Amino acid sequence: MSYIDTIFQKTFQESMHLRQQVLADGNLLDQVRLAGQTLVNSLRSGSKVLLCGNGGSAADAQHIAAEMIVRYKSSHDRDPIPAIALTTDSSVLTAGANDYSFADVFYRQVIALGQPGDVLFAISTSGNSANVIRAMEAAQQKGMQVIKFLGGDGGKMIAMPGIPLLVPHKETARVQEIHITLGHILCDVVDAELFGFRDF
């Protein structure tokens, strides 16, 4: 067996094992239910979603925002959902990092754009991302709800206000695979509750 075969087998086995572990986690299911209802209530009241993260988590923030603004499934032709990924404006990000600090690049956007009742998706596989923590602090100041996508032991973010969606694994790649699945589940919940799509 070649090293490629070994990587292939190991990756899929780890991913399947983690998915089975997550599927059996009743506490995580409870948190997903709470996150889904919080998100639906916020959107139903006319509020919006802000999303942030770094690296692969930045890509997840943009991915989920796209699913909301455009559509999640091709069979779900519905109105767009207001969502803003705070990871995409290079001028704002570089000015914030240059004039203040990289820890503040999301904080200032949440202060500027966030409103009471909005929801922040705070995504960090370690739970220790300084700029995501600062975004959560800003969300609290603005009276927003926070849904925390975390990995490992949840890091510093686990003790902060918000709904924790914790993936109990230390490997970043495996955590990210579950994070985007959880994001998709929340998109399905929104489509079902707000638009009546129940094709499952």
Quick check: helix, strand or coil at residue 115?
Answer: coil
Question: For residue 1, with 0-12 CB atoms within 10 Å meaning exposed, 13-18 middle and 19 or more buried, which class applies?
Answer: exposed
CA distance 121 to 132: 9
* Whole-prediction pTM: 0.96
1 pLDDT exceeds 90? no
- Confidence band for 199, pLDDT divided at 50, 70 and 90: confident
Going by C-alpha positions, the residue among 155, 89, 148, 86 that lies closest to residue 123 is 148
What tens digit of pLDDT does each residue of 69-113 get? 999 999 999 999 999 999 999 999 999 999 999 999 999 999 999
* Residue closest to 48 by CA, chosen among 139, 130, 123: 139
The correct answer on CATH 3.40.50.10490 for the domain covering 3-195 is yes
Checking if the pLDDT of 50 tops 80, the result is yes
Mean pLDDT, rounded, for 176-196: 97
Chain length of the chain: 200
pLDDT of 127-158, one tens digit each? 999 999 999 999 999 999 999 999 999 999 99
Residue 200 has pLDDT above 90, yes or no: no
DSSP state string for 57-85:
HHHHHHHHHHHHHT-SSTT---PPP-EEE
Residue pair 147/162 in contact (Cβ under 8 Å)? The answer is: yes
| Residue 25 pLDDT grade (very low, low, confident, very high; cuts 50, 70, 90) | confident
Domain boundaries, the chain: 3-195
Q: How confident is the model at residue 182 (pLDDT cuts 50, 70, 90)?
A: very high
